[in-house]
Amino acid sequence: MRRHTTHLAPWFDDRCRQACRECRRLERRYRRTETPDDRLKWIEAVRRRFQLYRTVKQEHWFGRLSQHGRSSAPLWRSLSSMLGRNRDVAAPNDFTADDFATFFTSKVDAIRAATADKAAPPPEAGAVKCSSSTFRLLTQADYDVTNQVVCARSGPDVSTTRVR
């Protein structure tokens, strides 16, 4: 049996671990017997466990906040810890931009080499024939009318340009 030593929550203590063990024990019993009585005991234990979690979590964080009193720096460190902002997400590495470029260049080259002898996939859609015969050149009068509508809707801050 493997035991994980990392604690995902700082408030998770021995009482919580004991409640977990009790719930697992009762669940195994219910899965084995499948009796309504054992199911009820298991469900009640799960409910007690989550109530315990809420209580322990609240006690932990309230205690941690109250121990700092009015000292703002430790208080903010505690709040950051509560919010998960105290983790170092930028892992130290010794990669450079050149290493990064080299990695991707070699990756692209490997993909091109692996697909060099493959035929190109067929196009998914045929060529679209389009004509611009339905469009006409915008005149200064058309632009002036459009500009008046835009300015009326959006106010005087719209910059105007001239069509030549």
Q: 68 in a domain, yes or no?
A: yes
Give the pLDDT of residue 62: 83
Q: 119 in a domain, yes or no?
A: no
Split into its structural domains, the chain has a count of: 2
Q: 95 in a domain, yes or no?
A: no
Cβ 133 vs Cβ 146: under 8 Å: no
If you average pLDDT over residues 13-24, what whole number do you get?
92
Q: 49 in a domain, yes or no?
A: yes
- pLDDT tens digits for 32-77? 999 999 999 999 999 999 999 999 999 887 887 787 777 778 777 7
Segments forming the whole domain that contains residue 31: 14-82
For the four alpha carbons of 94, 100, 101 and 105, in that order, the dihedral sign comes to positive
Q: Which of 82, 98, 114 finishes a domain? A: 82
Q: 8 in a domain, yes or no?
A: no
If you average pLDDT over residues 8-22, what whole number do you get?
87
Q: Rounded CA gap, 128 and 109, in Å?
A: 33
Q: 59 in a domain, yes or no?
A: yes
Q: 39 in a domain, yes or no?
A: yes
pLDDT at 159 > cutoff 70: no
Kindly indicate the confidence band of residue 1, based on its pLDDT and cuts at 50, 70 and 90: low
Q: 94 in a domain, yes or no?
A: no
